[in-house]
Amino acid sequence: MLFLKSRISQKILYLMFQNEKQFFYINEIARLINEDPSNTHKKLLELKKEGVLIDKFQGKERFFQLNVKFKFFKEYQRIIFAENSALGLIREFFYMLKKEKKVAFAFAFGNSARNRLSKGEVELLIVGSIEKLVLDEKIKELSKQTKRELSFILLTEKSFQVKRAKKDPLLESIFKKPIFKLVGSFNLTKPGQNNPKELSSFEKNRLKVIHKRG
């Protein structure tokens, strides 16, 4: 993982991990990450040799894409997000809670999901077994690390399922809004509703969130 120490390599992978299914040509990547094309090309070749990227040719143009079958895909994804954005730290935070089986899934919803560069409130729905007081303290620490504030709704898995079955007004209103996934997954039962999705565009995620206590 020595190449992860390279600033250019990290910027390339940050772009790629947020656009997993998209091919980019060399000059396009250089423009998006604001780096010299020749240096960008050099790092792209190193990443391909490592197995992180794949490439293809269309005429004389060479395109690169993330190799989703790469052995250490998830590990590299966590590292890149954690080192490059506040959002990455938030996702890493929930990843660890999920790994500890304290959170089943978590996602953001509302205006922040519609416009991830918004400076407004970011709201989170968290489903799991973690105690609210424990989560509250962890969220406060996370807010300090990311220099962001955070609001959240916490439900147990059973409570979430019951509320969904009863068409709880709060949950119904949440699922009418744009949402994006942080960790975990679940199936929405009503057609036409938004499925939690990963971020799909290259952007400097700076989440402005409001932490609600109690």
Decide: 212 and 195 in contact? Cβ < 8 Å.
no
Identify the band that residue 121 occupies on the pLDDT scale cut at 50, 70 and 90: low
Longest dimension (CA), the chain: 60
Q: The domain spanning residue 10 has which CATH number?
A: 1.10.10.10
> Is the residue at 175 inside a domain?
yes
pLDDT digits (tens, 9 = 90+) for 189-202: 443 444 444 433 33
Q: Which stretch of 1-10, 81-90, 144-153 has the lowest confidence by average pLDDT?
A: 81-90
Shared domain check, 154 and 106: yes
Give the pLDDT confidence score for residue 207 in this predicted structure. Answer: 32
Whole-model pTM? 0.52
Question: Does residue 145 register a pLDDT over 90?
Answer: no
pLDDT digits (tens, 9 = 90+) for 99-112: 899 999 998 787 66
Shared domain check, 38 and 112: no
Q: The domain spanning residue 203 has which CATH number?
A: 3.30.460
Q: How many domains does the chain have?
A: 2
Give the pLDDT confidence score for residue 197 in this predicted structure. Answer: 45
Q: Which stretch of 6-15, 75-84, 176-185 has the lowest confidence by average pLDDT?
A: 75-84
Shared domain check, 161 and 107: yes
Shared domain check, 209 and 161: yes
Query: Could you tell me which residues come within 8 angstroms of residue 62 by beta carbon, excluding any fewer than 6 positions away?
Result: 25, 26, 55, 56
Q: Which of 206, 201, 204 is nearest to 16 (CA)?
A: 201
Shared domain check, 126 and 166: yes
Domain, as residue range, for 127: 86-214
